[in-house]
């Protein structure tokens, strides 16, 4: 058993099973270059909201686009919903290592930087980066487990 970077404990078999599940889920969505459950249509652009550091998120960063980093600064006293603040910047395409480093803050304590939202109007490039990101991620996770 190995302690992974995110603080979870898993065997190599569990990692392989997790990757197989992720692979099957990706194949089911293969015709769609973004996660259609959270994608939306804007009058001015096609956009995708990505809220996890999964291969789709890393692929989106590798494709480039507008990135908005948001952190939770507290809870609304009436609704209980998180109150978020953040800023955005237009970023060029990143290498896989740069994308992983960019999302490394996901391992920080809750509330430090608690959501990551990426908007891009260049979805075909994301589709082209997903396979590459999935392969890099699988190799990284297996390396961490050894």
Residues 55, 30 contacting (CB under 8 angstroms): no
Interval 26-61: pLDDT, tens: 555 544 333 333 333 333 333 333 344 456 666 767
| HSE-up of residue 109 (Cα within 13 Å, Cβ side) | 1
What is the residue-level pLDDT of the chain in tens, covering all 146 positions? 333 344 444 555 665 666 666 666 655 554 433 333 333 333 333 333 334 445 666 676 777 655 555 556 677 788 877 666 655 555 677 777 777 666 654 444 444 333 333 433 444 444 455 555 556 656 655 565 55
120/47 Cα distance (integer angstroms): 5
| Residue 82 Cα distances to 50, 78, 85, angstroms | 18, 11, 10
């Amino acid at each position: 058993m190995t302690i992974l970077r995110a603080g979870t404990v898993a065997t190599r078999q569990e990692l392989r099973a997790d990757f197989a599940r992720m692979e099957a889920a990706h194949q089911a969505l293969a015709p769609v270059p973004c996660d259609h459950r959270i994608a939306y249509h804007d009058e001015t652009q096609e956009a995708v909201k990505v809220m996890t550091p999964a291969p789709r998120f890393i692929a989106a960063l590798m494709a480039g686009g507008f990135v908005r980093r948001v952190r939770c600064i507290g809870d609304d006293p009436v609704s209980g919903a998180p109150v978020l603040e953040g800023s955005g910047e237009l970023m060029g395409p990143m290498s896989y290592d740069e994308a992983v480093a960019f999302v490394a803050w996901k391992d920080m304590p809750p509330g430090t930087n608690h959501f990551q939202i990426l908007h891009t109007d260049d979805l075909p490039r994301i589709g082209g980066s997903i396979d590459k990101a999935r392969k890099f991620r699988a190799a990284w996770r297996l390396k961490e487990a050894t």
